[in-house]
C-alpha cells in the first residue's frame, strides 16, 4: 500500500510517498480501516517548517521513520475475532495508543483513572514505540491507503456525518477535551486566541457545551475571522501587527491597558483564555489578556521558545495544558462521554460544518502540494486540508 513516510531521505523534502507492506492486525481486537480522509494538522506542518521552537522530547515519542496522518476516518474492511466493530462501519479514529490499545495489564495510573491522553506507555515498544497514530511505524496512518486501530480507538460515525467531515472529529475533540479538562466558569466570557482549526473547534465546543459564555475570537486572517463568526463568536478581532487589537480586546473586556504597543497588557481581562496557536507571541499575549486569577488553557503546540511568563505571577493565573482525547465529565458535572463522540454529535448537527471548514482536498499522490498549501494559509485561505487516498 501507499504511505507518506517522514524519513528525511529526500534532501529537498523530509517526507516521501512510499510503498509499504499492508500492516498486519496486531491483535484480536484490532481492525483494518480503509482511509477515506487524512487531515493535515498544524502539528504536522511543524515537521516541515519549524514555527514554534524545537521539541527535543519528541524524538523519544516518534522515532524516525514515521507514517504520517493522525486525523483519520475511514471504513472498516477487516476485523480481528474479538473486535466488536463490524466490517463496513464508517469510523472516526482516536489516534491515542494507550495501555488499553497496547493491552498492557495492569494499565498505568492515568489510563486506569480514565486519562489515556497522558498514558505513561506512549513510548512503549508494544505494538509501536510511537506516541499516537501518525507518529508511528508499521500501522499505517491517515496519509496512507490503510491504517490499523484497536477497538478502543474506533468511534462509529453517525449517518448524518458526511464523508467530507470524516477528519473533523479530531481537532474538534482536542478542543472539547481541553475545555472539559478545566471548564470555564458558568457564563464567563471566553477569549479564543487563534482561529485556525483548533481555535475554531474551541468556538464550536463552547457554543455546544457552554452556551452562556460570550465568545471573543482573535483571528490572524480574514477568512479565519469569517469562519469564527459563522461558528458563533460574538466578537471577532483581527490581529494587528501594531498592537491595535489589544485596545479592542480591552474595550470588549471592559478594562484598560498597561504598557504600550504590542507589549501592552490588559489590567483586567478575560476570566478564561484559550491559547490555540502555539507561537511565542500568542502564548505571551494570551497570558497578558487573562483576568486576575483567571485560567489560560494551552492547546497550541510549542517547544523551546522565549515567552513572557510574568503575567502568571502578576495575575495569579492558572496555566493548564491539554492533549489528545479522553472521556470527560460533562459541563457542571454532567454525564461522562468521550470527547470524540461529543465531537461527532456536534458535527452531525452541523455545529462544525465541513463545507465551511474543509477548504482544500488533494489526492494522496499530491501530498506535497497539500503541505505547501497549509504552510501558506495567508495566500491559500486554507482552514482544513484533507488528503484523500
pLDDT one-digit tens code per residue, 315-342 = 999 999 999 999 999 998 889 999 999 9
Question: In CATH terms, are 2-168+352-388 and 173-333 the same topology?
Answer: no
Q: Is the pLDDT of residue 56 over 80?
A: no
Phi-psi region of 39 (alpha: psi -120 to 50; beta: other; left: phi over 0): beta
Q: Mean pLDDT throughout 218-239?
A: 97
Q: Are 171 and 40 in contact (CB under 8 A)?
A: no
Residue ranges per domain, the chain?
2-168+352-388, 173-333
482511509: which residue's cell?
35
Share of the chain above pLDDT 70, in %: 100
Q: Is the pLDDT of residue 303 over 90?
A: no
Q: Is the pLDDT of residue 15 over 80?
A: yes
Lowest mean pLDDT among 46-60, 148-162, 258-272, 367-381: 46-60
How far apart are the C-alpha atoms of 52 and 54, rounded to whole Å? 7
Strands 318-321, 270-275: pairing kind: unpaired
527535543: which residue's cell?
56
* Bridge partner list, 330: 334
pLDDT in tens, 166-198: 999 999 999 999 999 999 999 999 999 999 999
- Secondary structure element (H or E) that encloses residue 231, with its range: helix 222-231
- Cα-flanking dihedrals φ and ψ of residue 325, to 5°? -140, 155
Angle, alpha carbons 75-76-78 (nearest 5°)? 150
Share of the chain above pLDDT 90, in %: 86
CB burial of 335-362 (b: ≥16 within 10 Å; e: otherwise) equals eeebbbbbbbebbbeebbbbeebbbbeb
What pLDDT score was predicted for residue 346? 98
- DSSP-assigned states of every residue in 165-206: GTTTHHHHHHHHHHHHHSPPPTT--EEEE--SHHHHHHHHHH
C-alpha distances in angstroms, 38 versus 49, 70, 206, 281, 282? Answer: 20, 7, 25, 30, 27
What pLDDT score was predicted for residue 333? 83
pLDDT in tens, 108-136: 999 999 999 899 998 888 888 788 999 99
Q: Is the pLDDT of residue 59 over 80?
A: no
At 299 the three-state DSSP class reads coil
CATH of 173-333, one of 3.40.50.10140, 3.40.50.720, 3.20.20.10, 1.10.357.10: 3.40.50.720
Closest Cα to residue 78, out of 31, 34, 22? 31
What pLDDT score was predicted for residue 344? 98
pLDDT band at 13 (very low <50, low <70, confident <90, very high): very high
What pLDDT score was predicted for residue 63? 78
Number of C-beta neighbours around residue 255 at 10 A: 17
Q: Mean pLDDT throughout 143-149?
A: 98
Q: Is the pLDDT of residue 62 over 90?
A: no
CB-based contacts of 11: which residues, under 8 Å, 6+ apart? none
What fold characterizes domain 2-168+352-388?
Quinone Oxidoreductase; Chain A, domain 1 (3.90.180)
Q: What average pLDDT does the chain have?
A: 95
Q: Hey, CA dihedral for 44, 157, 136, 146, is it positive or negative?
A: negative
CB burial of 98-137 (b: ≥16 within 10 Å; e: otherwise) equals bbbbbbbeebbebbeeebbbbbebbebeebbbbbbbbbbb
Amino acid at each position: 500500500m501507499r504511505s507518506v513516510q517522514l524519513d528525511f531521505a529526500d534532501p529537498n523534502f523530509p517526507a516521501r510517498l512510499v510503498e509499504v507492506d499492508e500492516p498486519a492486525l496486531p491483535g484480536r481486537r484490532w481492525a483494518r480501516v480503509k482511509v477515506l480522509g487524512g487531515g493535515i494538522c498544524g502539528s504536522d506542518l511543524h515537521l516541515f517548517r519549524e514555527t514554534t521552537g524545537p521539541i527535543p522530547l519528541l524524538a523519544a515519542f516518534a522515532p524516525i521513520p514515521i507514517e504520517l496522518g493522525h486525523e483519520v476516518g475511514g471504513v472498516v474492511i477487516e476485523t480481528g475475532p474479538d473486535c466488536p466493530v463490524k466490517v463496513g462501519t464508517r469510523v472516526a479514529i482516536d489516534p491515542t495508543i494507550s495501555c488499553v490499545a497496547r493491552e498492557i495489564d495492569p494499565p498505568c495510573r492515568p489510563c486506569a483513572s480514565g486519562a489515556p491522553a497522558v498514558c505513561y506507555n506512549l513510548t512503549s515498544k508494544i505494538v509501536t514505540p510511537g506516541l499516537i497514530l501518525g507518529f508511528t511505524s508499521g500501522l499505517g496512518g491517515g496519509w496512507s491507503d490503510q491504517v490499523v486501530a484497536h477497538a478502543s480507538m474506533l468511534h462509529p460515525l453517525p449517518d448524518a456525518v458526511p464523508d467530507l467531515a470524516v477528519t473533523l472529529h479530531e481537532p474538534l475533540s482536542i478542543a472539547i477535551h481541553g475545555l472539559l479538562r478545566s471548564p470555564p466558569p458558568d457564563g464567563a466570557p471566553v477569549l479564543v486566541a487563534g482561529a485556525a482549526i483548533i481555535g475554531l473547534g474551541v468556538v464550536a465546543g463552547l457554543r455546544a457545551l457552554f452556551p452562556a459564555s460570550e465568545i471573543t475570537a482573535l483571528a490572524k486572517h480574514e477568512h479565519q475571522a469569517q469562519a469564527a463568526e459563522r461558528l458563533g463568536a460574538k466578537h471577532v478581532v483581527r490581529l494587528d501587527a501594531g498592537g491595535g487589537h489589544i485596545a479592542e480586546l480591552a474595550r470588549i473586556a471592559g478594562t484598560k491597558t498597561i504598557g504600550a504597543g504590542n507589549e501592552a497588557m490588559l489590567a483586567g481581562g478575560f476570566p478564561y483564555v484559550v491559547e490555540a496557536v502555539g507561537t511565542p507571541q500568542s502564548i505571551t499575549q494570551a497570558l497578558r489578556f487573562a483576568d486576575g486569577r483567571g485560567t489560560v488553557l494551552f492547546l497550541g503546540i510549542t517547544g523551546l521558545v522565549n515567552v513572557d511568563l510574568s503575567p502568571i505571577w502578576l495575575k495569579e493565573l492558572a496555566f493548564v495544558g491539554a492533549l489528545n482525547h479522553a472521556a470527560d465529565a460533562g459541563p457542571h458535572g454532567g454525564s461522562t462521554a468521550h470527547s470524540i463522540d461529543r465531537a461527532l454529535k456536534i458535527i452531525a448537527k452541523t455545529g462544525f460544518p465541513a463545507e465551511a471548514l474543509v477548504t482544500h482536498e488533494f489526492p494522496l499522490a499530491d501530498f506535497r502540494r497539500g503541505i505547501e498549501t497549509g504552510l501558506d494559509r495567508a495566500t491559500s485561505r486554507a482552514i482544513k486540508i484533507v488528503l484523500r487516498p
